[in-house]
Structure 1
């Protein structure tokens, strides 16, 4: 039987192809056989424009997955649910928390916008799936739920707090990632990887038993990573059979160049408008 493919289209990112908008945010449209998944919804004003320009019909979204509750991944939720009111949404309960980043003594809200929170809460309860453990969305696609923080050198990646005074660090426990089975191993899709890229990979590999990785795609939150962290990350990544890496969003230019320099697989910076295609596993 002829194999069918999985396609992943980057709808929003910090970089974009000519004619598309950019912003500090991330969104992927995933199509696999008979299922359509929107993974994150970016920030403010790029998602609908870029989707239209790319011919992606967001009203066809069946599953909406939120990697975590930060505004730059949830800003378009209300617009998506207006277009696709019957979509099922998957997120960790902590995604609704009030949270902040604090730099130079100034607290900046990083929470999910109120309009996004209201759009979710007002859905029929059967459409809201609060994820607290690894969960299969459909055959061959799963999400991690909370990821164990086991490495000593990985951290949430920034000055994140649950209060405006900086007394309550935010571990961003709601961080989750998605995996897709393909002919050449797992496609791992991340939002910001606040749990750490290596922690994320370890968790997914342990859960699935699949050690081959067809692609790592998403934000890795390495923009402020120390040289030591980058060195240890590369050392760990070399332990896996990785075919392709597509860093996006919060990975950072320096980290992307570092990965490209020291890893043996292709490393291509992602951008809005990039479309990736993978062969699905043979049907039994």
Structure 2
């Protein structure tokens, strides 16, 4: 099992951006988790890292925000020239196509048009209401229960429920869970569902209370210390944290301290960094630590 970062703000190789994408490899099968924001970033970063995405058939979009969907169409169009099956199956959580309303009442959801253009390339869109094994050994959570009131999303948008506008909590937000003998590996795009809720969903899915690694965006960059303390207490026992995108640099460092981890096991995610089962985190030069003075 290996997860390689292809889009986030910090870049050890290639281009950084406000976005997220990662290549997930499990037992010889691959999938792309999110596609970054700008059209060229994931494609160029994969080239620089020597990664051939034309062999990847499955792609997951964690939620509708453009910083996770911007690369989908350019990647599909560029890669299908080499392989018609490249990124030909798109997995999303139920609710991703809901119309959103801003504070002025204007309606929109840019991902609806993106998905339609994707279908026109021959791609298949599969909407999941619950957990599903998208490739052998890797499970998409679909929308997760939210018993913990984490509110890990930006306010200001709404959706209609029974003809009434209610705050948009991005109910489609989905994460990837990889069960291992050492505990679950969790990969998130922004963690809008809340990492405590996502961790509970991973534990329920695997039947194992242990968490081996959490990778990706957790939307904690603007949270107060009390929230970080509560989060760390719920993740107690976590062995690896690769905090990228909207996790925040300061929040990642604070979680490292609260979780009792160190500079090798809790790292700020960078383009080119990776987590490999049995080996741990390869942070790269910019976020790594050689153990010197």
TM range (shorter): 0.7 to 0.9
Structure 1 length-normalised TM:
0.85
Structure 2: how far apart are the matches of 1:277 and 1:80? 25
Structure 1: how far apart are the matches of 2:118 and 2:95? 13
Q: Deviations over 1:26-75 (max 9, x none)?
A: 00011222311000000013111101100111111121011111100000
Q: Is the 8 A contact 2:153 2:169 kept in 1?
A: no
Structure 2 length-normalised TM:
0.82
After superposition, residues 213-228 of structure 1 pair within 5 angstroms as: 213-228=211-226
**2:154 corresponds to which of 155, 158, 170:** 158
State the Cα RMSD in Å.
Answer: 2.5
Q: Deviations over 1:191-226 (max 9, x none)?
A: 111000000000110121022222100100001212
Corresponding residue of 2:5:
10
Unaligned runs of 5+ in 2: 160-164, 280-293
1:245 aligns with 2:244: no
Structure 1: how far apart are the matches of 2:278 and 2:229? 32
**1:57 corresponds to which of 42, 52, 58:** 52
Structure 2: how far apart are the matches of 1:36 and 1:189? 14
Structure 2: how far apart are the matches of 1:160 and 1:71? 16
Structure 1: how far apart are the matches of 2:143 and 2:25? 24
Corresponding residue of 1:143:
140
Does the C-alpha gap of structure 1 residues 179 and 10 become closer, same or farther in structure 2, counting only changes over 3 Å? same
Q: What SS does the corresponding residue of 1:188 show, helix, strand or coil?
A: strand
After superposition, residues 99-138 of structure 1 pair within 5 angstroms as: 99=100, 111-112=110-111, 114=113, 116-122=114-120, 124=122, 127-138=124-135
Q: Is the 8 A contact 2:31 2:59 kept in 1?
A: yes
Corresponding residue of 2:15:
21
Structure 1: how far apart are the matches of 2:34 and 2:101? 19
- The structure showing larger relative contact order (alpha-carbon pairs under 8 Å, at least 6 residues apart) is 1
